[in-house]
């Protein structure tokens, strides 16, 4: 009996030591590359293992009813998930990270913080699935949503109502890469007692930290750059507001939209190379954007670090890089776009983004098919709009691939 209690006590100390190390790392304010490698786990105190163990368990034995190690049931807590959540919090500069089974589950969880009757102001050009869950799921439950172009001065105020509680920003947006001034909008939303959420999926914490700019919640589809290898689906929310963290933890446990331990491990492993991957994504994407911008078959190329981007100056001050996504409109019609997308050899024609391999997709038919056609037209999601997720391959190979597919498309 005494040994078992001692074991429980030692386990608690070990996990506290792990957390303490994480806090110390944060205090040291290490630089981004170092933080990506070490965030969330500083070695297993028992064995010295460098990587977090994968705890494949649904439950934990208790010494006596209510006497336990702090781990009771795996929906509520799992040490492998704890490590990923600590990493996310550290990278985004928040106090609390909460992990989910998908980015969509993370999005839904934030909306579940609201009450029937509340109103959300959202950027108009968000991921198709985000608009879908707002309009097709939560609107049925008494919440209302307004979609507005946050790049237009005064558009935010015009969309607000007395019952507005939340501002939803995606920056850059999916797929048009519009950018919102997070610091300015956060000030204006806070003046109206609204919470500010930023979906930071497209840039990752390596390139943009919304909490430092004034946002209250940052949300990620970790499926993308954080994992980086296209082998898990996951999501995360980070905040420094205790009240929001507590409510999100309660929801995570009550609704149960958690990731499994193996997926947490894989995502955390991916994060270790986030910094080097993002550097290559950015340099490859910028070069491809410049190549497309001068290509005779391309009408318009969008990339935040091109001088022609409407919010280029904002991109330079708000972010540390343009990211890996490039969107462009081709000349011609849907048939040309189809032939182009069928002709690529290195780029894979697939939904998703942020993995090491380059992907290409047609937003109107694929990722944003759930957006009503009228709205797609208003946003510019035309039949000839193409989105690239530029991977980390040799950029010359990627340019050659796009060039030959453009040749084949007409
Ligand atoms: O796919 P999931 O992990 O559930 O994440 C949803 C999501 C949330 N936010 C943004 C900005 C996203 O781009 C996504 C998912 N997007 C795609 C699958 C896509 O191809 O655009």
% pLDDT > 90, the chain: 92
Residue 193: is it exposed, middle or buried by C-beta count within 10 angstroms (0-12/13-18/19+)? Answer: exposed
3-state DSSP assignment of residue 25? helix
> Which of 202, 236, 271 represents a domain boundary (last residue)?
271
Mean pLDDT of 204-230: 98
Structure tokens at 286: 């910028």
pLDDT class of 5 with cuts at 50, 70, 90: low
Out of 127, 267, 362, 366, give the residue to mutate to test ligand 1, the one with the largest number of ligand atoms within 8 Å of its CB: 127
pLDDT class of 22 with cuts at 50, 70, 90: very low
Q: Is 266 in the pocket of ligand 1 (CB under 6 A)?
A: no
Residue 314 carries which DSSP code?
H
Give nearest CA residue, ligand 1 atom 16. Answer: 352
Ligand 1 atom closest to the Cα of residue 351 is 20
> Does residue 23 belong to any structural domain of this protein?
no
pLDDT value for 27: 46
Mean pLDDT of 194-219: 98
Identify each DSSP E strand in 90-229 by its residue range. 96-100, 119-123, 144-148, 164-170, 195-199, 217-221
pLDDT value for 91: 98
Whether residue 98 sits in one domain with residue 242: yes
138 CA from centroid of ligand 1 (Å): 18
Active-site residue among 19, 26, 75, 290? 75
> Does residue 385 belong to any structural domain of this protein?
yes
Active-site residue among 131, 165, 178, 224? 224
Ligand 1 atom closest to the Cα of residue 126 is 11
Would the pLDDT of 234 be above 60? yes
Examine the residue annotation and report whether 249 is marked as an active-site residue of this protein: no
* Cis geometry, peptide bond prior to residue 172 (ω within 30 degrees of 0): yes
% pLDDT > 70, the chain: 93
Whether residue 281 sits in one domain with residue 326: yes
* 3-class DSSP string for 225-249: CCCCCCCCCCEEEEECCHHHHHHHH
Active-site residue among 125, 199, 263, 401? 199
Tell me the pLDDT of the chain averaged across its residues: 94
Give per-residue burial for 376-398: e unless 16+ CB within 10 Å, then b: beebbbbbbbbbbbbbbbebeeb
Structure tokens at 344: 């690529």
Q: Are the CB atoms for 402 and 355 separated by under 8 Å? A: no
pLDDT value for 28: 53
> What digits encode the pLDDT tens for the residues 281-307?
999 999 999 999 999 999 999 999 999
Whether residue 227 sits in one domain with residue 85: yes
Relative to beta strand 217-221, strand 195-199 is: parallel
Examine the residue annotation and report whether 224 is marked as an active-site residue of this protein: yes
pLDDT value for 30: 84
Mean pLDDT of 72-99: 98
> Which of 220, 245, 271 represents a domain boundary (last residue)?
271
d(CA 40, CA 26): 10
> What digits encode the pLDDT tens for the residues 323-335?
999 999 999 999 9
> What digits encode the pLDDT tens for the residues 33-50?
999 999 999 999 899 999
Examine the residue annotation and report whether 75 is marked as an active-site residue of this protein: yes
- Residue 219 pairs in a beta bridge with 199, 237
Q: Are the CB atoms for 271 and 91 separated by under 8 Å? A: yes
pTM, to two decimals: 0.94
Whether residue 214 sits in one domain with residue 121: yes
3-state DSSP assignment of residue 186? helix
Nearest Cα to 168, choosing from 206, 204, 212, 114? 114
> Does residue 28 belong to any structural domain of this protein?
no
3-state DSSP assignment of residue 302? strand
Structure tokens at 24: 């110390």
pLDDT class of 18 with cuts at 50, 70, 90: very low
**What does each C-alpha distance from 133 to 108, 185, 293 come to in angstroms?**
7, 23, 34
> What digits encode the pLDDT tens for the residues 122-142?
999 999 999 999 999 999 999
Whether residue 394 sits in one domain with residue 323: yes
Q: Is 216 in the pocket of ligand 1 (CB under 6 A)?
A: no
> Does residue 364 belong to any structural domain of this protein?
yes
Q: Is 130 in the pocket of ligand 1 (CB under 6 A)?
A: yes
154 CA from centroid of ligand 1 (Å): 28
> Which of 271, 298, 319 represents a domain boundary (last residue)?
271
Mean pLDDT of 71-95: 98
pLDDT value for 2: 54
> Does residue 10 belong to any structural domain of this protein?
no
Examine the residue annotation and report whether 269 is marked as an active-site residue of this protein: no
pLDDT value for 19: 45
Whether residue 203 sits in one domain with residue 111: yes
Whether residue 292 sits in one domain with residue 188: no
Could you list the residue range(s) of the whole structural domain that residue 88 is in?
Answer: 76-271
> Does residue 9 belong to any structural domain of this protein?
no
Q: Is 351 in the pocket of ligand 1 (CB under 6 A)?
A: yes
Give nearest CA residue, ligand 1 atom 18. Answer: 352
388 CA from centroid of ligand 1 (Å): 14
57 CA from centroid of ligand 1 (Å): 29
Domain CATH number, residue 109: 3.40.640.10
Whether residue 87 sits in one domain with residue 223: yes
């Amino acid at each position: 009996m005494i040994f078992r209690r001692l074991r429980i006590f030692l386990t608690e100390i070990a996990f506290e030591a792990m957390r303490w190390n994480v806090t110390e790392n944060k205090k040291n304010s290490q630089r981004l590359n170092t933080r990506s490698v070490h965030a969330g786990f500083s070695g297993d105190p028992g064995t010295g293992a460098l990587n977090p163990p994968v705890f494949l368990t649904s439950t934990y034995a208790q010494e006596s009813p209510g006497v336990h190690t702090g781990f009771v049931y795996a929906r509520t807590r799992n040490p492998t998930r704890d490590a990923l959540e600590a990493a996310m919090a550290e990278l985004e500069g928040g106090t609390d990270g909460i992990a989910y089974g998908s980015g969509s589950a993370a999005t839904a969880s934030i909306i579940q913080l609201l009450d029937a009757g509340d109103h959300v102001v959202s950027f108009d050009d968000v991921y198709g699935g985000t608009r879908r869950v707002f309009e097709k799921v939560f609107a049925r439950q008494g919440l209302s949503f307004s979609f507005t172009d946050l790049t237009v001065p005064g558009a935010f105020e015009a969309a607000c109502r007395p019952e507005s509680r939340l501002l939803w920003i995606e920056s850059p947006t999916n797929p048009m890469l519009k950018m919102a001034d997070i610091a300015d909008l956060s000030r204006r939303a806070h003046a109206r007692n609204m919470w500010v959420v930023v979906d930071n999926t497209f840039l990752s914490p390596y390139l943009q930290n919304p909490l430092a700019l004034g946002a209250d919640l940052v949300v990620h589809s970790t499926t993308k750059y954080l994992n980086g290898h296209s082998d898990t689906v996951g999501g995360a929310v980070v905040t420094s507001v205790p009240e929001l963290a507590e409510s999100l933890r309660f929801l995570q446990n009550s609704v149960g939209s958690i990731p499994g331990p193996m997926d947490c491990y894989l995502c955390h492993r991916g994060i270790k190379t986030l910094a080097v991957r993002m550097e290559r994504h950015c340099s490859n994407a910028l070069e491809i954007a410049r190549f497309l911008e001068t290509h005779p078959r391309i009408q318009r190329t969008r990339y935040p670090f091109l001088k022609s981007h409407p919010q280029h100056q904002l991109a330079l001050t708000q972010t540390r890089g343009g990211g890996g996504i490039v969107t462009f409109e081709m000349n011609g019609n849907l048939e040309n776009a189809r032939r182009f997308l069928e002709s690529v050899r290195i780029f894979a024609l697939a939904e998703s983004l942020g993995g090491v391999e380059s992907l290409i997709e047609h937003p109107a038919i694929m990722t944003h098919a759930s957006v009503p056609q009228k709205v797609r037209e208003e946003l510019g999601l035309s039949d000839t709009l193409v989105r690239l997720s530029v991977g980390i391959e040799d950029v010359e190979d990627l340019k050659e691939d796009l060039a030959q597919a453009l040749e084949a498309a007409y």
